C-alpha cells in the first residue's frame, strides 16, 4: 500500500508522526499475546487462532456429523398408508390426529393390495459414529488436544504409553501458550506500573498456572500431605507450594502449633 499521513484521519490529525519516547521506559506500554503457532494464513508475524490449522478437519467432522444426523432423521420409523385408508374431507386426505410424523399417505397399490406398509430401515449409525470419532481425533491431533477432549475416550484403544504421549502433546501446547501469556501479562503489568509512576519501583509480578493435564492435582496434594506426616516435607514448604506464597511468608503464616502434622 501507499503511506497515508495521519492528517488524513481527523481524529489522528494532532498526533505527532515521529515516535514518542519516555525517559526510563524501555518497552512498549502494552502487553501483546499471540498463540505459539506459525501463521500459515497470510505468512505475517501476527497471531492466528489455535484451530487455524484444523479448519478443513473441523469441516470434515461437521460434515460427518451431518451424515449421522441425517441417518437418524431419515431412518425414523413410519407407516406408509394407502390414501384409501385415510379420512377424506373436502377432497383432501387427513392423517390421524397426532400421527402425522408416523403415518405417510401414499398411493401404494391401486389394484386393491395392502393398505399399510411399515417403513423401518436398518440403522447404520455405528459406522457413522466410528467415522465421526475418527474425525474428532484428527482435530484433536492437529489442534494439540489430548484424545478424549472431543472424542469419546472409550472408543480409543490406547496403551498407557500412548495415553501419556497424547497428554504430553496437550501439555506442551498448553505450556507454550502459558509461556506467551505470562510474557504478555508481565508487559501489561509493566505498562500499568508506568502509568501509575511505579515503573522504577521494586514491584514483583507473580504468575503461576495450575493444571492437571499430566498429573492429578488432588492426588499430588494428598501425597504431599502424607509426606508432611512422614516428616519428609516441611509445613512451610507445603504451604508455599499450595498457597502460592514465598518461603518467608509461608513460615510467617503457619499456625502457632507448627509442630503438628497434617492428617
Cell representation of residue 16: 505527532
CA distance 176 to 160: 24
* Residue 112 located in a structural domain: yes
Burial of 182 (0-12, 13-18, 19+ CB in 10 A): middle
Cell representation of residue 249: 511468608
* Residue 102 located in a structural domain: yes
Q: For residue 17, count other CB atoms closer than 10 A to its CB.
A: 8
* Residue 105 located in a structural domain: yes
CA distance 145 to 78: 42
**Does residue 145 sit in the same domain as residue 224?**
no
Please give the tally of structural domains in the chain: 2
Helix (H, G, I), strand (E, B) or coil at 226: helix
Q: Which of 106, 122, 149 is the last residue of a domain?
A: 149
- Helices 55-74 and 125-143: angle between axes, nearest 10 degrees: 160
On whether the CB atoms of residues 75 and 121 are closer than 8 A, the answer is yes
Query: DSSP secondary-structure letter at 14?
Result: T
* Residue 57 located in a structural domain: yes
On whether the CB atoms of residues 65 and 228 are closer than 8 A, the answer is no
Q: Mean pLDDT, consecutive 10-residue segments, the chain of 263 residues?
A: 84 85 83 91 87 94 95 78 62 58 55 62 88 94 89 70 78 90 93 83 81 70 91 90 85 71 51
- Please state the pTM of the whole predicted model: 0.65
CA distance 223 to 134: 37
Q: Give Cα 19 distance to the centre of its chain.
A: 40
Note the pLDDT of residue 78.
Answer: 72
Q: Which of 134, 149, 164 is the last residue of a domain?
A: 149
Residue 136: give the domain boundaries.
52-149
**Does residue 61 sit in the same domain as residue 144?**
yes
* Residue 63 located in a structural domain: yes
Residue keyed to cell 377432497: 91
* Residue 198 located in a structural domain: no
Residue keyed to cell 461437521: 62
Output the CA torsion 255→221→173→63 (10° steps).
Answer: -120
Burial of 95 (0-12, 13-18, 19+ CB in 10 A): middle
Sorted by sequence, the CB contacts under 8 Å of residue 236 that are 6+ apart come out as: 247, 250, 251, 254
Q: Which of 149, 178, 194 is the last residue of a domain?
A: 149
Note the pLDDT of residue 195.
Answer: 85
* Residue 73 located in a structural domain: yes
* Residue 14 located in a structural domain: no
Amino acid at each position: 500500500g501507499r503511506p497515508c499521513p495521519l492528517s488524513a484521519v481527523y481524529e489522528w490529525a494532532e498526533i505527532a508522526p515521529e515516535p514518542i519516547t519516555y525517559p526510563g521506559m524501555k518497552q512498549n506500554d502494552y502487553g501483546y499475546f499471540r498463540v505459539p503457532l506459525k501463521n500459515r494464513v497470510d505468512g505475517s508475524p501476527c497471531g492466528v487462532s489455535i484451530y487455524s490449522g484444523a479448519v478443513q478437519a473441523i469441516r470434515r467432522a461437521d460434515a460427518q456429523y451431518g451424515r449421522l444426523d441425517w441417518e437418524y432423521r431419515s431412518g425414523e420409523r413410519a407407516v406408509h398408508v394407502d390414501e384409501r385408508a385415510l379420512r377424506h374431507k373436502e377432497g383432501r386426505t387427513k392423517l390421524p390426529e397426532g400421527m402425522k410424523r408416523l403415518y405417510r399417505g401414499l398411493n401404494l397399490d391401486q389394484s386393491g393390495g395392502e393398505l399399510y406398509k411399515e417403513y423401518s430401515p436398518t440403522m447404520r449409525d455405528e459406522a457413522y459414529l466410528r467415522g465421526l470419532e475418527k474425525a474428532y481425533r484428527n482435530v484433536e491431533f492437529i489442534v494439540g488436544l489430548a484424545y478424549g477432549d472431543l472424542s469419546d475416550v472409550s472408543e480409543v484403544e490406547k496403551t498407557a504409553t500412548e495415553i501419556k504421549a497424547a497428554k504430553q502433546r496437550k501439555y506442551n501446547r498448553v505450556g507454550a501458550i502459558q509461556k506467551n501469556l505470562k510474557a504478555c501479562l508481565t508487559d501489561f503489568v509493566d505498562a500499568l506500573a508506568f502509568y501509575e509512576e511505579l515503573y522504577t519501583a521494586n514491584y514483583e509480578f507473580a504468575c503461576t498456572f495450575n493444571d492437571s493435564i499430566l498429573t492429578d492435582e488432588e492426588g499430588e496434594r494428598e501425597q504431599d500431605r502424607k509426606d508432611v506426616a512422614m516428616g519428609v516435607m516441611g509445613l512451610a514448604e507445603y504451604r508455599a507450594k499450595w498457597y502460592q506464597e514465598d518461603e518467608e511468608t509461608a513460615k510467617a503464616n503457619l499456625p502457632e502449633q507448627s509442630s503438628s502434622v497434617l492428617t
